[in-house]
Amino acid sequence: MIDLEGKVALISGGARGQGEAEARLFVSLGAKVLIGDVLSAEAEAVARSLGDSASSCHLDVTSENDWQDAVAMAEKTFGRLDVLVNNAGISGGEFIEDESGEAFTRMFQINQLGVFYGIKYVVEPMKAAGGGSIINISSTAGLRGVTKCIGYSATKWAVRGMTKTGAIELGQYGIRVNSVHPGIINTAMVNWDQMNEKQQAMVAGSLPLPRIGEVEEVAQMVAFLASDASSYSTGSEFIIDGGSSAGQPFFKPKRS
């Protein structure tokens, strides 16, 4: 059973989508949560709905000062810091020849540099707590190439590499670092509800599990990695993609 009783977590991008689902599940499992997001009002509303077990702060993950302030607030509000979920990120892109340097740089700043800052600034408080768990949200785009996603793929592969380096360096302090690789998940980035039935079938119909994933399913995986139930797991990829990374069949298997 997953138990987060007594743990304090900082979740970036926690105002909506996967981050919000993680915050709500963490609190239900006994954790205290600081929700960080550039969407300050939305983050505050989520925190209010969770009562005394949650608080919020403005967190632009590209800002070192914001990261330092968020970590300090977690310690001041809840007394310690045990878990970081590097959840904030953006997606999108163009074909390589159409991608701009500005768009590529923006993707790097949020998806890669933001994760680096998060890891960097939680090390000392996690040492003080006697250990911790850092969970970096990557993507299946961090496991393979994706069309029209040169910047996104580059940053998600980088998150995977930073995860492994972090695991090697920080294991001596009892700090575990793992990456989570969601596939197609029902978030605002995907706009699933705005697709017609044919479009939905094109997106998810060929998957071994032929449906879109839900944010609560990702949250369950993240909660497992935040808990002591995963105490001997570090430097690893945890995939939640309906089987998309298993490969594509040459034909759809059927049985009579």
Q: Which residues are catalytic?
A: 152
- For CA atoms 117, 119, 120, 125, the dihedral sign is positive
Helix (H), strand (E), coil (C) string for the chain:
CCCCCCCEEEEECCCCHHHHHHHHHHHHCCCEEEEEECCHHHHHHHHHHCHHHEEEEECCCCCHHHHHHHHHHHHHHHCCCCEEEECCCCCCCCCHHHCCHHHHHHHHHHHHHHHHHHHHHHHHHHHHHCCEEEEEECCHHHCCCCCCCHHHHHHHHHHHHHHHHHHHHHHHHCEEEEEEEECCECCCCCCHHHCCHHHHHHHHCCCCCCCCECHHHHHHHHHHHHCHHHCCCCCCEEEECCCHHHCCCCCCCCCC
For residues 9 and 28, the answer to whether their CB atoms sit within 8 Å is no
